[in-house]
């Protein structure tokens, strides 16, 4: 065991793992409050995780030579889903080559060409949302982001294959809902048995469909399609060879893991925040693009769904913040803690999109997509989805809370609204005065809030089972 790690809790690794799993926000905030930063988390089956929050330390982390820190090995728990060729599991030269193959698919004109499809799928989904009654949006947004990925990334057309993958993909992703399934040593022991066995069977069925799709598209040859699969089929390695079928399969699954649950959760948190900030919703309805982007940035700051993006496994001695870390330690940026540091973001628990009208997100202080050479390739894709969904929703609805705010819950490696983003949607009424000027569209039943339209204090938490368990080990926090 390394002697010069930052401080950690005296609790054994198992109890720390339980706290990290059941109440990740409260766990991290209590660790920071008690031990300062950086601090060390001891996680069963995964070793020592050192959480960094100083922007200078994060800069050193994100710009370290690729042979010194291995983010790919730090994300090994995802291999059963994404496969060994995934860009997020590769390191050094192999990572850079695969990243170059993937990069054109998620930038520039290709993203803009997918806008129409995303808007069409969004309209279809929002048409089904009920009005004037409590509705949990998270599951509906999961369905929407899955549909967008299957259509825009996988390039699937309507038909039996799309129907089968609609059913299989969510089942595959549920394997990570248990903390046991996210521990690589236990993954190996569980092969063929229980929950993991069911996951393996679902994955095999999905692979049959994916490989058949890839073969069909290869036979079709170059076409006019704008989906990501088409780009991957045309990509070439540095030696001129095409991507192998297994490489394409792994990158398609990577796009699913990186862009399905994460975007659905970010959108869910958007509605959770808008339900308590009606003035923000009103301003979004005015089609102010700058304010829409600022609101998205504030959602991603306030509720980063990846609390510690892209942990990096130390491969060679690495010094940061006056401590030299030996191989085997995992270093990670504490995105949630950075985003809630009052020295960086004044009044950090308030929801204030205006803060991003005043300044742009900082490279080492705004981390919803990680950073450095490993920054999420799909960041522009996810932000485009959020723009389309939130713009259309603001045009159609006002949003009010359906009950008390709840603590976020964990789903695989992400966090989601604990109540499934339960809100009430109201049809936006565009009444006009005699002079033709629009009046307020807020329903009469919706209570007014202060003109700032923001939450000014940490919200209460309603999650009895998790709170009870976490309180036993002393890791609850009012800031969840």
The model's pLDDT over 4-35, given as tens digits with 9 standing for 90+, comes to: 899 999 999 999 998 998 899 999 999 999 99
In-domain check, residue 377: yes
pLDDT in tens, 231-250: 899 899 989 999 999 999 99
Which residue segment(s) compose the domain that 456 sits in? 13-472
Are 322 and 266 in contact by the 8 Å Cβ rule? The answer is no
Residue 446 has a pLDDT of 36
Q: What is the distance between the terminal CA atoms of the chain, rounded to a whole angstrom?
A: 32
Q: What average pLDDT does the structure give for the chain? A: 85
CB neighbourhood size of 465 (10 A): 8
CATH number for the domain spanning 164: value is 1.10.630.10
Report how far residue 349's alpha carbon sits from residue 357's, in angstroms, rounded to the nearest whole number.
18
Comparing 469 with 208, the larger pLDDT belongs to 208
In-domain check, residue 479: no
In-domain check, residue 216: yes
In-domain check, residue 49: yes
Place of tokens 């981390």: 367
pLDDT in tens, 168-189: 998 888 766 665 555 655 656 6
Sheet of 134-136, strand order: 134-136, 422-427, 397-401
* Statement: residue 88 has pLDDT above 70: yes
Are 24 and 304 in contact by the 8 Å Cβ rule? The answer is no
In-domain check, residue 4: no
In-domain check, residue 478: no
Residue 391 has a pLDDT of 96
Least reliable range by pLDDT among 39-53, 148-162, 191-205, 440-454: 440-454
Q: Which CA distances in Å does 258 have to 20, 49, 119, 254? A: 21, 22, 20, 6
Number of domains composing the chain: 1
Q: Which CA distances in Å does 232 have to 106, 161, 220, 399? A: 11, 20, 14, 40
Report how far residue 246's alpha carbon sits from residue 231's, in angstroms, rounded to the nearest whole number.
15
In-domain check, residue 1: no
Q: Which residues pair with 356 in a beta bridge?
A: none
In-domain check, residue 91: yes
Residue 431 has a pLDDT of 42
Q: Residue 180: what are its φ and ψ, rounded to 5°?
A: -60, -40
pLDDT in tens, 356-368: 998 999 999 999 9
């Amino acid at each position: 065991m390394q002697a010069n790690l930052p401080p950690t809790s005296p609790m054994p690794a198992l109890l720390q793992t339980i706290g990290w799993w059941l109440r990740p926000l409260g766990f991290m905030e209590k660790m920071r409050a008690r031990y300062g930063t950086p601090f060390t988390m001891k996680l069963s089956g995964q070793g020592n995780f050192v959480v960094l929050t100083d922007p200078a330390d994060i800069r050193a982390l994100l710009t370290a030579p690729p042979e010194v820190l291995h983010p790919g090995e730090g994300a090994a728990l995802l291999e059963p889903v994404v496969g060994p060729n995934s860009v997020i599991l590769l390191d050094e030269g192999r990572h850079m080559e695969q990243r170059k193959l993937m990069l054109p698919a998620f930038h520039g004109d290709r993203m803009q060409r997918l806008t129409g499809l995303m808007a069409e799928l969004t309209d279809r989904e929002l048409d089904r949302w009920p009005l004037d009654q409590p509705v949990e949006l998270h599951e509906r947004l999961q369905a929407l982001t899955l549909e967008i990925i299957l259509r825009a990334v996988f390039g699937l057309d309507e038909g039996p294959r799309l129907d089968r993958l609609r059913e299989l993909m969510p089942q595959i992703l549920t394997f990570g809902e248990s903390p046991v399934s996210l521990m690589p040593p236990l993954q190996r022991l569980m092969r063929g048995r229980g929950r993991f066995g069911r996951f393996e069977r679902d994955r095999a069925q999905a692979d049959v469909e994916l490989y058949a799709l890839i073969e069909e598209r290869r036979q079709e040859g170059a076409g006019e399609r704008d989906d990501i699969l088409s780009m991957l089929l045309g990509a070439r390695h540095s030696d001129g060879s095409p991507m192998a079928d297994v490489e394409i399969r792994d990158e398609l699954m990577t796009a699913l893991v990186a862009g399905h649950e994460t975007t659905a959760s970010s959108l869910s948190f958007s509605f959770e925040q808008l339900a308590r900030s009606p003035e923000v919703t009103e301003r979004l309805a005015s089609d102010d693009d700058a304010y829409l982007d600022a609101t998205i940035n504030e959602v991603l700051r306030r509720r980063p769904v990846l609390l510690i993006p892209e942990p990096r496994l130390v491969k060679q001695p690495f010094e940061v913040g006056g401590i030299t870390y030996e191989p085997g330690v995992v270093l990670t940026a504490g995105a949630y803690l950075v985003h809630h540091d009052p020295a960086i973001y004044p009044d950090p628990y308030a929801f204030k999109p205006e803060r991003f009208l005043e300044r742009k997100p900082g490279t080492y202080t705004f981390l919803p997509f990680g950073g450095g050479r490993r920054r999420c390739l799909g960041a522009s894709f996810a932000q485009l989805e959020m723009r389309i969904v939130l713009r259309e929703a603001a045009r159609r609805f006002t949003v009010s809370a359906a009950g008390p705010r709840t603590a976020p819950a964990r789903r695989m490696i992400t966090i989601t609204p604990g109540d499934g983003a339960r809100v009430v949607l109201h049809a936006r009424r565009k009444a006009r005065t005699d002079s033709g000027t629009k009046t307020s569209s807020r329903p009469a039943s919706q209570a007014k809030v202060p003109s700032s339209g923001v939450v000014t204090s940490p919200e209460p938490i309603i999650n009895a089972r998790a709170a009870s368990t976490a309180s036993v080990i002393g890791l609850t926090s009012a800031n969840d």
